[in-house]
Structure 1
Amino acid sequence: MPVTNPWLAGPAPTTRLDRHRLEERILNLLSSQNMCVLATSGPDGPLATPVRYFHLDFALVFTAAATSPKMRNIAADPRVSLGVFAPLVGQASSRGAQLFGRAQVLLPGDPAREHYWPAVRWQSDHVERSRSLDEPPADPLVVVEADRIVYTEHWLRRDGYAPRQFWRRAT
């Protein structure tokens, strides 16, 4: 019987990508998707929330209603994980990343917000909701600078690399 992707059979390779190539692959994934699952922990236990994100290098940013459960959880414990993934068609297309870091909430007027705000493409939401483009949203901006990332891409096996790669922020 013919096999579509014979390189998926057998044990996975263990070779690591060099840092530059791994970073390029991670940034490609972050640039080609716009939804993630945010995992927080709160008094009722874990909460996984789909969130539309924007990215600036290895930081994921999103706006959120100040009173939402995810914001309540972040206020209590800023340690979060975000899962970003590409649509799965089969094992060969498996591609995603788990980002780990601390969520920082930036309110309007916070000087740090100015660094991240240009990455947020809020205009399309405003047009969709018939809101004026003269008034940007005043919602809190949540920024998660990744401390570490677990990147998975099974296509890497084809070239002899481990399908799971590990990235840490340079110190």
Structure 2
Amino acid sequence: MPSTNPWLAGPRPTGRLPRERLEERILNLLSSQNMCVLATAGPDGPLATPVRYHPLGFAVLFTAAPGSPKMRNVAADPRVSVGVFAPLVGLASSRGAQLFGTARVLGPDDPERAHYWSAFRWENEHVERGGSLAEPPRDTLVVIEAERIVYTEHWLRREGFAPRQFWRRAA
């Protein structure tokens, strides 16, 4: 029987992408998607929450209501994991990343907020809620700077690279 993607058969390659190429692919994924799944753990156990995010380098940013379950969990344990993935058509199109880091909650008056807020595209959501474009929201901003990333892309097998690649923030 003919195979649509014969390069998916056989032994899985083990090659590692050069860091620059891996970073380019990760940044492409993060900037071409806008939804992730945030995984937190709290007193009631694990919680996986779909979240609309905005990227800034290897960081994901989102706003959240301070009393939400995800924010209660972050307060209890700020170590989180974030899953970002592209639409899946079949194994050949499988592309995603798991980011691991520590969530930082920046209030409206936090001096670090301005740096991150400049990358946050708040206008559409703010207008949807009836807000004015003349006055940006003062929502709580959550920043997760990836400390490590597990990147998966089966298309890499075509070039002899392992479909799962590993990135760590430089010291």
- Pair in the same fold by TM > 0.5: yes
Q: Deviations over 1:123-162 (max 9, x none)?
A: 0112223321122121110000000000000000011100
Residues 22-101 of structure 1 mapped to structure 2, 5 A cutoff: 22-101=22-101
Letter in 2 for 1:147: E
Q: Deviations over 1:99-142 (max 9, x none)?
A: 00000000011111111001110101122233211221211100
The separation in 1 between residues aligned to 2:32 and 2:40, in whole angstroms, is 24
1:15 aligns with 2:37: no
The separation in 2 between residues aligned to 1:139 and 1:66, in whole angstroms, is 9
Q: What SS is found at the alignment partner of 2:118?
A: helix
Aligned to 1:155: 155
Identify unmatched segments of 5+ residues in structure 1: none
The separation in 2 between residues aligned to 1:20 and 1:5, in whole angstroms, is 27
Q: What SS is found at the alignment partner of 1:22?
A: helix
**Aligned Cα RMSD in Å?**
0.7
Residues 128-143 of structure 1 mapped to structure 2, 5 A cutoff: 128-143=128-143
* Poorly superposed stretches of 4+, deviation over 4 Å: none
Letter in 2 for 1:21: R
The separation in 1 between residues aligned to 2:146 and 2:73, in whole angstroms, is 18
Q: Deviations over 1:31-74 (max 9, x none)?
A: 10000000000111000000000011001110000110000100
Q: Alpha-carbon deviation of 1:10? A: 1.2
Letter in 2 for 1:2: P
The separation in 2 between residues aligned to 1:146 and 1:130, in whole angstroms, is 33
The separation in 2 between residues aligned to 1:11 and 1:164, in whole angstroms, is 14
The separation in 2 between residues aligned to 1:54 and 1:100, in whole angstroms, is 16
Q: What SS is found at the alignment partner of 2:88?
A: coil
